[in-house]
């Protein structure tokens, strides 16, 4: 099987962050070369790199690249620069918890090296190592998530997915797409339906691009067709990713996911959220506490360069919605499958 393109990595000399510009898919595959905090911030903000795990990986590598350029022998000066860059990158997107998780992990590694009286060059090397570990761990988690999810699926099933939770949202097989790829290798012959995912069409532009390129059976539908394909009996399970899961199990994902979950409940279809444990935010009690990113109204009024609504009309553009646990069948992580009662079982997940 053709493996997905890694969306965020370093160049051979480790002095630039290389990102696939996903805003240009599927028409062209163009790579960005970034070595400034402003460039990395803009790439995350404008969705050149997107998907919670991929954002975390990009932030870690971006932080390293920026610090690697700092010419100083002073650990204190390097620490000051790290704080500034990290705080700045953290303002790029508020909902994806992996962004903050990765930055905090890099800061923690800095503190560990500093406590051991390491010099500047040793600290920089350690931060590169930490970034590589974040990438490697994500790739391993993708496979584990996929294997757990396959235990809930059967050959020949019709699967619906919303937005993009494949390799371009992570670093390997993805989360919601991982069981699709692994199932393909095992001959499960899934029939996959991908919501367009408006207003930026990540499902049509990216999910369909990935799955089709890998040889999987994928059909694109508009978001408002989901009820009809469910009614026709074409969907046996819904698989989506998540940008942040609250401690009680409420899950934030791309706008439109809540509607899909409500429909799935109505038609008796299991609704699965697939995400690494790094996406579970124990410091966020419920979905009501998740900050929802509001994006530029022009993404709706003038999508992809074509005027689709009067320029002067108001447009409301939240990037995410939150699905309450009553609509969630299970949360599938690299550590296993979590079912209701979610709050208690999520706590157990982190104790194991």
56 a known binding residue? no
CATH number, domain of 110, equals 1.20.120.420
Residues 155 and 129 in one domain: no
Q: What is the pLDDT of residue 5?
A: 64
Task: Kindly state whether residue 44 falls inside one of the protein's structural domains.
Answer: yes
Which residue in the block uniquely carries the two structure tokens 């074409």? 234
306 a known binding residue? no
Average pLDDT of the segment spanning 198-215:
93
pLDDT level of residue 25 (50, 70, 90 thresholds): confident
Neighbours of 160 (CB within 10 A): 27
Which residues are the active-site residues?
243
Residues 104 and 252 in one domain: no
Task: Kindly state whether residue 3 falls inside one of the protein's structural domains.
Answer: no
DSSP string, 146-201: HHHHHTT--TT-EEEE-S--SGGGSSSS-STTHHHHHHHHTT---EEEEE--TTTT
Q: Which of 113, 142, 171 is the last residue of a domain?
A: 142
Give the Cα separation of 162 and 225 in Å (integer). 12
In sequence order, what are the residues at sequence separation of 6 or more whose Cβ sits closer than 8 angstroms to the Cβ of residue 296?
A: 317
CATH number, domain of 317, equals 3.40.50.10470
Q: What is the CA radius of gyration of the chain?
A: 20
Residue pLDDT, tens place only, 114-130: 999 999 999 999 999 99
Residue pLDDT, tens place only, 243-292: 999 999 999 999 999 999 999 999 999 999 999 998 999 999 999 999 99
**What six digits make up the tokens of 29?**
């595959």
Q: What is the pLDDT of residue 1?
A: 46
Q: List strands edge to edge, sheet with 191-195.
A: 218-221, 191-195, 158-161, 237-240, 271-274, 330-333, 336-338
Residues 259 and 270 in one domain: yes
Q: Which of 142, 160, 185 is the last residue of a domain?
A: 142
Q: Which of 100, 118, 142 is the last residue of a domain?
A: 142
241 a known binding residue? no
Residues 341 and 206 in one domain: yes
214 a known binding residue? no
Residues 80 and 151 in one domain: no
Residues 103 and 243 in one domain: no
Residues 309 and 262 in one domain: yes
Residue pLDDT, tens place only, 209-225: 999 989 999 999 999 99
52 a known binding residue? yes
Task: Kindly state whether residue 2 falls inside one of the protein's structural domains.
Answer: no
Task: Kindly state whether residue 1 falls inside one of the protein's structural domains.
Answer: no
Q: Angle, to 10 degrees, between the axis of helix 52-68 and the axis of helix 120-150?
A: 170
- The reply to whether the predicted model has a pTM over 0.85 is no
Give the Cα separation of 154 and 172 in Å (integer). 23
50 a known binding residue? yes
Task: Kindly state whether residue 258 falls inside one of the protein's structural domains.
Answer: yes
Give the Cα separation of 106 and 39 in Å (integer). 19
Give the Cα separation of 12 and 45 in Å (integer). 25
Residues 155 and 209 in one domain: yes
Q: Name the H helices within 116-156.
A: 120-150
- Give me the domain span that covers residue 93: 8-142
Asked if 137 and 169 count as a contact pair (C-beta separation under 8 A), the reply is no
Q: What is the pLDDT of residue 53?
A: 83
Residues 69 and 163 in one domain: no
Residue pLDDT, tens place only, 69-103: 999 999 999 999 999 999 999 999 887 788 999 99
DSSP string, 53-109: HHHHHHHHHHHHHHHHT---S-HHHHHHHHHHHHHHHTTS-SS-HHHHHHHHHHHHH
Give the Cα separation of 194 and 275 in Å (integer). 18
Residue of 331, 334, 322 lying closest to 276 (CA atoms):
334
DSSP string, 22-51: GGGTTT---EEEE-SHHHHHHHHHTTSS-S
Task: Kindly state whether residue 90 falls inside one of the protein's structural domains.
Answer: yes
> How many domains, in total, are found in the chain?
2
Residues 302 and 339 in one domain: yes
93 a known binding residue? yes
Residues 147 and 239 in one domain: yes
Task: Kindly state whether residue 173 falls inside one of the protein's structural domains.
Answer: yes
DSSP string, 214-242: TT--EEEE-GGGHHHHHHTT--SEEEE--
Give the Cα separation of 17 and 19 in Å (integer). 6
Task: Kindly state whether residue 344 falls inside one of the protein's structural domains.
Answer: yes
Residues 138 and 158 in one domain: no
């Amino acid at each position: 099987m053709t493996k997905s393109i890694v969306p965020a990595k370093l160049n051979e000399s480790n002095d630039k962050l290389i990102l696939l510009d996903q805003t240009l898919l599927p028409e062209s595959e163009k790579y960005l070369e970034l070595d400034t905090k402003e460039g990395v911030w803009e790439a995350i903000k404008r969705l050149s790199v997107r998907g919670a795990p991929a954002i975390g990986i990009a932030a870690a590598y971006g932080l390293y690249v920026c610090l690697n350029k700092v010419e100083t022998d002073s650990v204190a000066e390097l620490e000051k620069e790290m704080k500034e860059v990290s705080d700045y990158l953290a303002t790029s997107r508020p909902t994806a918890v992996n962004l903050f998780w990765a930055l905090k992990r890099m800061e923690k590694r800095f503190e560990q090296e500093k406590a051991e009286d390491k010099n500047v060059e040793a600290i920089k090397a350690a931060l590169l190592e930490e970034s590589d570990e974040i990438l490697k761990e994500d790739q391993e988690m993708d496979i584990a998530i996929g294997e757990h999810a396959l235990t809930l699926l059967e050959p020949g099933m019709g699967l619906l997915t919303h937005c993009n939770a494949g390799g371009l949202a992570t670093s390997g097989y993805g989360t919601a797409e991982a069981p699709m790829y692994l199932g393909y290798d095992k001959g499960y012959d899934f029939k996959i339906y991908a919501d367009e995912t408006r207003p930026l069409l990540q499902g049509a532009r990216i999910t369909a691009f990935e799955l089709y390129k890998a040889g999987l059976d994928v059909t694109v539908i508009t978001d408002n067709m989901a009820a009809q394909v469910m009614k026709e009996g074409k969907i046996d399970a819904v698989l989506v990713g998540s940008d942040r899961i609250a401690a009680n199990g409420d899950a934030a994902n791309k706008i439109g996911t809540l509607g899909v979950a409500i429909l799935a409940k109505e038609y008796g279809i299991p609704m699965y959220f697939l995400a690494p444990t790094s996406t579970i935010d124990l410091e966020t009690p419920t979905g009501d506490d998740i900050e929802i990113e509001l994006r530029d109204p022009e993404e709706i009024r003038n999508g992809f360069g074509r005027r689709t609504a009067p320029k002067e009309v108001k447009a409301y553009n939240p990037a995410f919605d939150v699905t309450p646990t009553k609509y969630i069948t299970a949360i599938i992580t690299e550590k296993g499958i979590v079912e209701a009662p979610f709050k208690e079982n999520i706590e157990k997940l982190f104790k194991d």
